[in-house]
Amino acid sequence: MDIDDILAEVDVDATPRETRDLQELTRAWVAERVAPEMMAWPGGLMERVLGRVGRQIELVEDQTGNMDPKTNFRLIVVQTEVERFKFLVRSFLRARLRKIDTHPLHILAKHTESDASHPLLSPAEYQYLTSHQALLAAHYGASFLSQFPNNLQRMDDTTGGISMVDKPDEDAAVLVRVLRDVGEVAVEGTDKKLDMKRGDVWVVRWSAVRGWVGSGDLEII
């Protein structure tokens, strides 16, 4: 164990929960916007963040009308903070929705595969995806698909060599920063071996590093 590791451990425990949540939320937000694939739904984190935003809004509502300049100033600080949190959450959710809308069937399949304790989508997102797909299918059906021959009516056809289910480009390049040593990383299809050390920044294929991003050893920047 070298001095960096010791420092890292001290760091994590010393920061309060709130600060860590903000950091996690920011990380999740950046990752969701950059990574080509959908990330798992951070259920616990979202619950804490939303709870806190709700409490802050209540506090603001309670204190409004208090004309004491000191509390007034504090309220402005609180409100600015709430606005920023709201922006992060909003942008995060919209980024996820955009992915859901672009690759619905692919994500649905992944979601069904994923672990029930760490689902890919939140229940609300799952509901949105399924109802949206039902809507689209009904729309296509009513507009033209119902008049097609039966064997051409499917939306997830894979015959003829081309799958109708669109997939994100899993080999897209991402910028990652190494948070914990992960050792050697092999990039599939090449004979490159990368030695990832804490603090390094790499440009790599998403498919090569996604496991470590999920476990928090790497962060996307």
Partner 1 sequence: MYGEIGNKLVQHAKRTQSLAHLPPYQTELVRAVTREVRDLDKDVATILEPFAGSFDPSTEPATACALLVNHLCMRRDKRCLLAYHRTRTDKLEEMCWSGIDVLERQQQLSQKGGGDGAGAQMGTDGAGSSLSPEEEEYVRQYSDLLASYKGQWTDIDLTGSLEPPKDLFIDVRVLKDAGEIQTEYGAITLTKNSQFFVRQGDVERLIQQGYLQRLS
* 45 is an interface residue for partner 1 by CB under 8 A: no
Q: For residues 117 and 144, which CB has a smaller minimum distance to partner 1 in the complex?
A: 144
Positions 137 through 166 that interact with partner 1 (CB under 8 A): 138-140, 142-145, 147-149, 152, 160
Q: Where are the beta strands (DSSP E) in 98-153?
A: none
Nearest-angstrom CA–CA distance, 38 and 99: 7
* 200 is an interface residue for partner 1 by CB under 8 A: no
Cβ atoms 73, 10 nearer than 8 A: no
Which part of the chain contacts partner 1 (CB under 8 A), choosing from 6-14, 16-24, 51-59, 103-111? 51-59
Q: For residues 66 and 215, which CB has a smaller minimum distance to partner 1 in the complex?
A: 66
22 token code pair: 């903000």
* 221 is an interface residue for partner 1 by CB under 8 A: no
30, 34, 93, 165: which one contacts partner 1 (CB under 8 A)?
93
* 124 is an interface residue for partner 1 by CB under 8 A: yes
Q: For residues 126 and 212, which CB has a smaller minimum distance to partner 1 in the complex?
A: 126
Nearest-angstrom CA–CA distance, 217 and 204: 15
Q: How many residues form the binding site for partner 1 (CB under 8 A)? A: 38
Question: Of 94, 100, 92, which is closest to residue 121 (Cα–Cα)?
Answer: 100
Count of alpha carbons within 13 angstroms of residue 185, beta-carbon side: 23
Cβ atoms 175, 186 nearer than 8 A: no
Shortest distance, position 33 Cβ to partner 1, whole Å? 11
Task: Report the amino acid identity of residue 14.
Answer: A
Q: How far is CA 41 from CA 82, 134, 152, 193, in A?
A: 22, 23, 35, 31
Which part of the chain contacts partner 1 (CB under 8 A), choosing from 4-12, 88-96, 171-179, 199-207? 88-96
Cβ atoms 132, 104 nearer than 8 A: yes
Residues that bind partner 1 (CB under 8 A): 50, 53-54, 57, 64-65, 76, 79-80, 83-84, 86-87, 89-91, 93-94, 101, 124, 127-128, 131-132, 135-136, 138-140, 142-145, 147-149, 152, 160
